[in-house]
């Protein structure tokens, strides 16, 4: 988590842009993202310069040419406000918009990044505002990758529209848990059909680098596959697509497939059974009209509810043998409608439902107090559910109020991951424990209700109290003692 000092600096930057005339919170985020992106490009180039100086070799993959030295952050930040404004508007901004065009391979065409940046606008209103923001951003030490991530999360959290249309950003530690539980490999083709700022895809890319770097960078073909063929994300918000593609590029994925798509409205046969792993926390905005929903999703489950339609979409997108870790509102687990029951029956009977992790309602605060769960399943089209692993998460390492204060010693996340990776030992666990297995037959006999409260048993400890007469006698004795003490005090006071 970022410190109070950095939060104060971000708040001041936000106020500077707000008072300068950029009143749309999403526009503030977008403009700040451009500047952070420019700053990061300069940092990357500096690191490659230092490596070249150490080895005595030419700079590997330089970001800037010698002629472009003046557009580096470390150079233009020292310029006078008017000169800085002209440089950023007329040289730096066109430069970042052009990144990825015909990058390295004419056959590939433009990258998704350059495609989304075509409509990007430089909106800094005045030289004074730009100089002020650049100066304040420069004073924040972002050498630590976690600080950069936390800083970005905090900025995104300031979007006033967060929570509209059912959109809630997923906390990074929850994303990491879901990625670690699904353990992506270099063979995976990963998709988030509601990717937003690409948090799940970035976490998956970091997991792959940390655990499979040798396989990723083994040769040019494997590197190209990682950069262009592994990560796929859809969204129907063009600003989010720009931020998401920039975010991926900053995290070292050069050309992910991040594109505009209304996942629930468009039928796309090219994407059917294409992906081996889906990671998602899609927006749950209520109901859609039948007319505006893809017909093939309605064939899986006849419903207008977006949370059920997204689950139908995941099943359509996954390859046989593909797996998913997705966040759903609690209503999906116990809803009594025909569509709710039908979809749960599909997951249990026709596919392999692996696990349900019930999360406390404070996980998405301060944006929402909604109760949610993580659903993990494997697409088989031939059943395979023997038992479902349930975990009752009670703490995620942060307070469950609006402040979300770190409480690392109270986190259930390490225990969840350890038990998930050793599920065969869970057979002995009782339903009074934090985690346990529930046989498929028991779930079917409960009308496919997947709420953990249906199966969790609560142990009550018998507490013996004294008889009422004994308690009354004790109270009477206390009253006498108080009266005696008061009388002694009155005598002392004369």
Comparing 230 with 494, the larger pLDDT belongs to 230
pLDDT value for 291: 66
Can you say whether residue 105 is alpha, beta or left, with left for phi > 0 and alpha for psi between -120 and 50 degrees? Answer: beta
Average pLDDT score, the chain: 87
Instruction: Quote the CA–CA distance of 348 and 223 in Å, as a whole number.
Output: 38
pLDDT value for 289: 67
**How many CA atoms within 13 Å lie on the side-chain side of 372?**
24
For 108-135, write each residue's pLDDT tens digit: 445 677 777 777 889 999 999 999 999 9
Residue 466, pLDDT above cutoff 70: yes
pLDDT bucket at 379, cuts 50 / 70 / 90: very high
Strands (E), 217-274: 231-235, 257-260
Instruction: Quote the CA–CA distance of 417 and 395 in Å, as a whole number.
Output: 14
pLDDT value for 104: 39
Q: What is the CATH number of domain 162-194+263-455?
A: 3.40.50.150
Residue 231, pLDDT above cutoff 70: yes
Least confident of 89-103, 313-327, 401-415: 89-103
Tokens of residue 172, six digits: 């990074």
Residue 145, pLDDT above cutoff 70: no
pLDDT value for 380: 97
Sequence-separated (6 or more) residues with CB below 8 Å from residue 4: none
For 239-249, write each residue's pLDDT tens digit: 788 888 877 87
pLDDT bucket at 149, cuts 50 / 70 / 90: low
Average pLDDT over residues 403-423: 91
DSSP assignment string, 164-177: GGG--PPPHHHHHH
Specify whether the CB–CB gap between 190 and 379 falls below 8 A.
no
pLDDT value for 162: 44
Average pLDDT over residues 3-12: 81
Instruction: Quote the CA–CA distance of 432 and 430 in Å, as a whole number.
Output: 5
Residue 155, pLDDT above cutoff 90: no
pLDDT value for 406: 86
Residue 70, pLDDT above cutoff 50: yes
Residue 107, pLDDT above cutoff 50: no
pLDDT value for 106: 33
pLDDT value for 268: 67
Comparing 138 with 147, the larger pLDDT belongs to 138
Residue 344, pLDDT above cutoff 80: yes
DSSP assignment string, 315-378: HHHEEEEEEEEEEEETHHHH--SHHHHHHHHIIIIISEEEEEEEE-GGGGTTT----EEEEEEE
Specify whether the CB–CB gap between 231 and 190 falls below 8 A.
yes
pLDDT value for 109: 45
Q: Pairing state of beta strands 435-439 and 387-392?
A: antiparallel
Would the pTM count as exceeding 0.95?
Answer: no
pLDDT value for 348: 97
The distance from CA 79 to its chain's CA centroid, rounded to whole angstroms, is 38
Q: Which residues pair with 137 in a beta bridge?
A: none
pLDDT value for 460: 76
Q: Pairing state of beta strands 372-378 and 318-329?
A: antiparallel
Q: Which residues pair with 215 in a beta bridge?
A: none
For 265-279, write each residue's pLDDT tens digit: 766 667 889 999 999
In CATH terms, 4-149 corresponds, of 3.30.56.10, 1.20.1260.30, 3.40.50.80, 3.40.718.10, to: 1.20.1260.30
Comparing 301 with 422, the larger pLDDT belongs to 422
For 163-204, write each residue's pLDDT tens digit: 444 455 788 899 999 999 999 999 999 999 999 889 899 999
H/E stretch holding 389 reads strand 387-392
Comparing 408 with 219, the larger pLDDT belongs to 219
Q: Where are the domains of the chain?
A: 4-149, 162-194+263-455
Q: What percent of the chain has pLDDT over 90?
A: 51
Nearest to 411 by CA among 433, 434, 388: 434
pLDDT value for 263: 78
Sequence-separated (6 or more) residues with CB below 8 Å from residue 380: 320, 321, 350, 351, 352
Instruction: Quote the CA–CA distance of 101 and 450 in Å, as a whole number.
Output: 48
Residue 161, pLDDT above cutoff 60: no
């Amino acid at each position: 988590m970022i410190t109070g000092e950095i939060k104060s600096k971000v708040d001041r930057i936000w106020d500077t842009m707000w008072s300068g005339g950029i009143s749309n919170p999403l526009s503030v985020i977008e403009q700040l993202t451009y500047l952070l992106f420019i700053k990061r490009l300069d940092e990357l180039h500096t690191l490659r310069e230092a490596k070249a100086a150490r080895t005595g070799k030419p700079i590997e993959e330089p970001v800037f040419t010698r002629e472009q030295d003046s557009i580096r952050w470390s150079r233009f930040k020292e310029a006078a406000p008017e000169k800085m404004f002209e440089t950023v508007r007329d040289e730096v901004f066109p430069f970042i918009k052009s990144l990825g065009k015909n990058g390295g391979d004419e056959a590939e065409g433009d990258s998704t990044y350059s495609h989304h940046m075509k409509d990007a606008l430089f909106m800094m209103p005045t030289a004074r505002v730009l100089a002020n923001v650049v100066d304040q951003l420069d004073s924040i030490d972002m050498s630590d990758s976690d600080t950069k991530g936390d800083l970005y999360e905090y900025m995104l959290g300031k979007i006033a529209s967060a929570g509209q249309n059912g959109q809630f950003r997923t906390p990074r530690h929850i994303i990491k848990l879901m990625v670690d539980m699904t353990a992506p490999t270099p063979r995976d083709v990963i998709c988030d059909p509601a990717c937003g700022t690409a948090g799940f895809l970035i976490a998956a890319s970091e997991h792959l680098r940390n655990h499979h770097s040798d396989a990723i960078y083994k040769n040019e073909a494997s590197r190209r596959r990682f950069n262009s063929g592994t990560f796929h994300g859809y969204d129907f918000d063009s600003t989010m697509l720009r931020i998401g593609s920039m975010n991926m590029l900053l995290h070292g994925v050069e050309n992910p497939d991040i594109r505009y798509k209304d996942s629930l409205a468009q039928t796309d046969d090219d994407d059917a059974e294409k992906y081996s792993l889906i990671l998602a926390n899609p927006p749950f905005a209520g109901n859609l009209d039948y007319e505006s929903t893809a017909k093939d999703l309605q064939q899986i489950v006849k419903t207008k509810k977006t949370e059920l339609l997204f689950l139908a979409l995941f099943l359509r997108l996954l390859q046989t043998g593909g797996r998913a870790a997705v966040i759903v509102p609690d209503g999906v687990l116990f809803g009594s409608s025909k569509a709710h029951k039908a979809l749960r029956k599909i997951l249990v009977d026709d596919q392999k439902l692996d696990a349900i992790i019930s999360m406390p309602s404070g996980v998405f605060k301060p944006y929402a107090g909604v109760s949610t769960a993580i659903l993990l399943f494997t697409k088989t089209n031939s059943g395979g559910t023997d038992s479902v692993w349930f975990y009752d998460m009670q703490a995620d390492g942060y307070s469950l109020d609006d402040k979300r204060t770190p409480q690392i010693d109270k986190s259930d996340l390490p225990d969840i991951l350890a038990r998930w990776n050793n599920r065969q030992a869970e057979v002995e666990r009782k339903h009074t424990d934090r985690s346990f297995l529930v046989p498929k037959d028991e779930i079917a006999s409960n009308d496919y209700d997947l709420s953990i409260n249906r199966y969790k048993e609560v142990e009550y400890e018998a507490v013996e109290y004294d008889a009422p007469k004994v308690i009354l006698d004790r109270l009477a004795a206390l009253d006498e003692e108080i009266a005696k003490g008061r009388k002694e005090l009155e005598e002392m006071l004369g």
